Chain A
Amino acid sequence: MKIALVGNPNSGKSTLFNSLTGLNQRTGNFPGVTVDKKTGIVRIPQPGKKNGWEFEFVDLPGTYSLYPKSLDEVVSYQVLCDPSNEDYPDVTVVVADASNIKRNLFLVTQLIELRRPVLLVLNMADVMRSQGTIINREKLCDRLGIPVIYSNARKKEGLEEIKNQLKNGVEASAKTFFNQLPAADLFDSLRKIVPVGAPYAAWQVLSNYSQLSSISEAQKIEIHKLGITYGFDATAFQAKESVERFTTIGNIVDECVEHIPIDKQKQTKKIDRVLTHPVWGYVIFLLVLFGIFQSIFFLAQFPMKWIEGLFVKVSQWSAYHLPPGELTSLFVNGVLAGLSGVVVFIPQIALLFAFIAILEDTGYMARVSFLMDKMMRKFGLNGKSVIPLISGIACAVPAIMSSRTISNWKERMITILVTPLMSCSARLPVYTLLISLVIPSDKKIFFFSMQGVILMGMYLIGFLAAIFSALVLRFILKAREKSYFIMELPIYRMPKWSSVFYTIFDKVKVFLLDAGKVILAISVILWVLSNHGPSGSFARIDKKYEEMAAPVAGDASEREMKKASEKLEASYAGILGKVLEPAIRPLGYDWKIGIALVTSFAAREVFVGTMATIYSVGDKENTKSIREKMIEEKDPVTGAHVYTVAVGFSLMIFYAFAMQCMSTLAVVYRETKNWKWPLVQFFYMGILAYVSSFVVYQLLK
């Protein structure tokens, strides 16, 4: 049996979904939109019934009304109103916030008038009782014509009743809540064009037919003509319906709900006085951001190192036990290394989403939007964009995933496109190496170390680039839907820890399966490029070294490193570097840097490792020796030093702006469900990087 789970945002619908389905959930796709589809199965064995009961729940995006006002709401609308939709439910379970019954009944009554089975779950019953509200359940059942069940999803109360009701069967109600039905012949005329069930469903089609993908263009034209013939004005109609509906609901509430007037939001208002205070509000918010940042940047390092260590052990074990050869090398150095590069993101993703889940669950996230909206709007961003932007300073991968909290398409797109400009932690080793290369460590500006100032400067440049790009994108990107801020500020609640756990589990799974595939594929390709050369070239190098006189003791490792360096030069990656050289010469780079630019695509910090190999430094951690070799490096033609101040800065600016992280591209692809956007990002950032580095180099040289 297919069951659609609908309800207002903040009604506890998702908590109910998690409580019912547990880990039996899947995240899939709604065709044509980026909203995730969450489905889950509840199986109840029944003696005498083969296979027992199987309920498939679809968790639809929260909505206040059947009339879609955003892309998310179009999804809910299509599932509930289009019989040909693959998720068209047998029963609709509406989750309502019992402490907010009036507003929640709007959607409930609309669903009832679609004349399909509906079950009302009055959730957050505990909050309702603590506010002194008493709802007469029998009277409400009677007025609505549907079963009504109390629940407290957090404490898993009411779940059994819900399951039992579903087993016993739910019938459609015949109650009506507003009287503006169309003239009989209008309804009949419409039915000749498209199949429509109830009269109210006909109204829905007439108002929103352009959003129903199952209706053909020809049919849409017919419906449009029909509307004109009858002088149908969708906006005026919807307004009249809303007012009438609320009048009827007002009467129902007066009859069925009794409450002693206690200030419902006393506790919330008290807390808000601090959390949205002109000074303390922002201070606390900064602390929260700082906490998020520190955990992704610092705390995550511990499990990350452990994961890396684990993969190294597995690689070593494999290399030892598997027969030597091409396939083993591919497995150990290509696949395993690639997998390591995917799994290593899990701690950061888990931590960031744990924070976000807590912020959302407690109701604080809405206050973040409230505090930051005015500032962020100027850049085409949403108040909630702050979290991905700040997280991006640690790592863009979880940051971009977290932009999902932004429901407006344009605001989310801009956030996703500019977040990678915030200097992430992978750029830090590159900056550190280059700064130490071109700026003497004793140079000071006022009392501050010049090196430190330049480093801060790089972060500032990243931030400014992000803000400026957002401004530009605001005018270039076209909005796909009207941007509303109108948003509920829910009462504060303690977070539900199992919800947090399910969120983490879900996000990590999605990342591993979707983005992970792409990252693994690209890293294997890059490995192939750096470890293979055109036929014979590697063999020739091996032969050359074999024919050399036996090395003096102590020189053996140095010779190995030289060999590795020559091989890298002869590999496809090396050839690519040489091919790129004419294009990057204006930026001050030679082909050796060119190779590093190619390999950095796996992860920016690979730059350091590649430099180590090119300059035959065995120990990749030994930045001092890498630096010494690089300082020595002279241009074979002019004899001048390669790594001048100009080149150093040009290269840093390039790394600041270029999209050089395949993991980020993979995640952007996953979040936008389209290769168009990662490509757009790659090119706009690439052009920005190229032009900026060019200007910097030419000015400084």
Chain B
Amino acid sequence: MKHSAQNLSQLKVGQQAIIDSFTDPVMSLKLLEMGCTPGEMVELIKIAPMGDPIAISVSGYLLSLRKAEASTVLIHLLAR
């Protein structure tokens, strides 16, 4: 399994990853309650036409968030 200290905002469309941890404790609370827990799988579905925000698939539904918010989520890519 590839291991790199990437964050969620760096994912490309269609890539899947596992959530590792969070860099912003306060932001993490909001993300956690929305189902973005460590060990959960996410997939980048779409980037908005102007480049921001992004839409990811997580915990069985579609979640949209700004790149700034996504950058606080540390992930590792899932090799296909």
Contact = CB atoms under 8 A, between A and B. Distances in A.
A246 B19 CA distance: 14
Interface size class of B (residues with CB under 8 A): 20 to 34
A336 to B, nearest CB: 50
Interface stretch (A186-194, A234-242, A498-506, A530-538): A234-242
Contacts of A242: 29, 32-33, 37
A278 interface: yes
Interface in B44-71: 45-46, 48-53, 55, 57, 59-66, 69
A64 B34 contact: yes
B28 interface: yes
A148 to B, nearest CB: 19
A272 B62 CA distance: 11
Given A106-B33, A243-B37, A488 B61 contact: yes
Contact of A103 (B50, B57, B59): B59
Contacts of A491: 62
A106 B53 contact: no
A375 interface: yes
Contacts of A100: 60-61
Interface string A366-381: 1001110111000000
A238 B29 contact: yes
A50 B12 CA distance: 65
Contacts of B32: 238-239, 242-243, 246
B60 A102 contact: yes
Contact of A65 (B33, B51, B61): B33
A276 interface: yes
Contacts of A227: none
A359 B45 CA distance: 22
A276 B30 contact: no
Nearest to B33: A65
Contact of A489 (B31, B55, B66): B55
A225 interface: no
Given A103-B59, A103-B60, A489-B62, A277 B49 contact: yes
A432 B72 CA distance: 54
Contacts of A277: 49
A89 B35 CA distance: 27
B29 A69 contact: yes
Main secondary structure on A side of the interface with B = helix
A265 interface: yes
B48 A373 contact: yes
A64 B33 CA distance: 6
B26 A103 contact: no
B35 A103 contact: yes
A106 B35 contact: yes
Contacts of B46: 272, 276
B25 A236 contact: yes
A281 B62 contact: no
Contacts of B40: 246
A489 B60 CA distance: 12
B69 to A, nearest CB: 6
Nearest to B29: A238
Interface stretch (A291-299, A478-486, A691-699): A478-486
Contacts of B45: 269
Nearest to A263: B57
A67 interface: yes
Interface in A70-103: 99-103
**Chain A: interface residue count, which band?**
35 or more
Interface in A98-122: 99-103, 106
Contacts of B22: 239
Contacts of A369: 64
A669 interface: no
A375 B29 CA distance: 27
A100 B52 CA distance: 25
Nearest to A64: B33
B8 to A, nearest CB: 12
B63 A488 contact: yes
B59 A235 contact: no
A487 interface: yes
Contacts of B29: 67, 69, 235, 238-239, 242
A236 B55 CA distance: 27
A239 B63 CA distance: 19
Interface string A459-498: 0000000000000000000000010111111110000000
Contacts of B52: 373-374
A103 B25 CA distance: 20
A489 B45 CA distance: 12
Contacts of B28: 239
A278 B22 CA distance: 31
A65 B32 CA distance: 10
A239 B62 contact: no
A69 B30 contact: yes
Contact of A265 (B25, B33, B57, B65): B57
Contacts of A622: none
Contacts of A281: 49
A487 B54 CA distance: 11
A106 B48 CA distance: 29
A374 B59 CA distance: 26
B57 A374 contact: no
A264 B43 CA distance: 14
A239 B32 CA distance: 7
A106 to B, nearest CB: 6
Contacts of A371: 48-50
A371 B60 CA distance: 22
Contacts of A436: none
A486 B30 contact: yes
A281 B33 CA distance: 30
A246 B53 contact: no
Contacts of B60: 99-103, 264
Interface string A348-374: 000000000000000000100111011
Contacts of B31: 486
A370 B49 CA distance: 9
Nearest to A486: B65
A36 B39 CA distance: 39
A531 B53 CA distance: 57
Given A103-B35, A374-B53, A484 B48 contact: no
A88 to B, nearest CB: 23
Contacts of B49: 276-278, 281-282, 371
Q: 6 nearest interchain CB pairs?
A: A242-B32, A278-B49, A65-B33, A489-B62, A374-B50, A103-B35
10 contacts: A102-B59, A239-B22, A242-B32, A246-B40, A264-B61, A369-B64, A374-B52, A485-B69, A489-B61, A489-B62
Given A239-B32, A487-B64, 15 more contacts: A64-B33, A100-B60, A236-B25, A239-B29, A242-B29, A243-B38, A265-B62, A269-B45, A276-B49, A276-B55, A369-B64, A487-B63, A487-B65, A489-B55, A490-B62
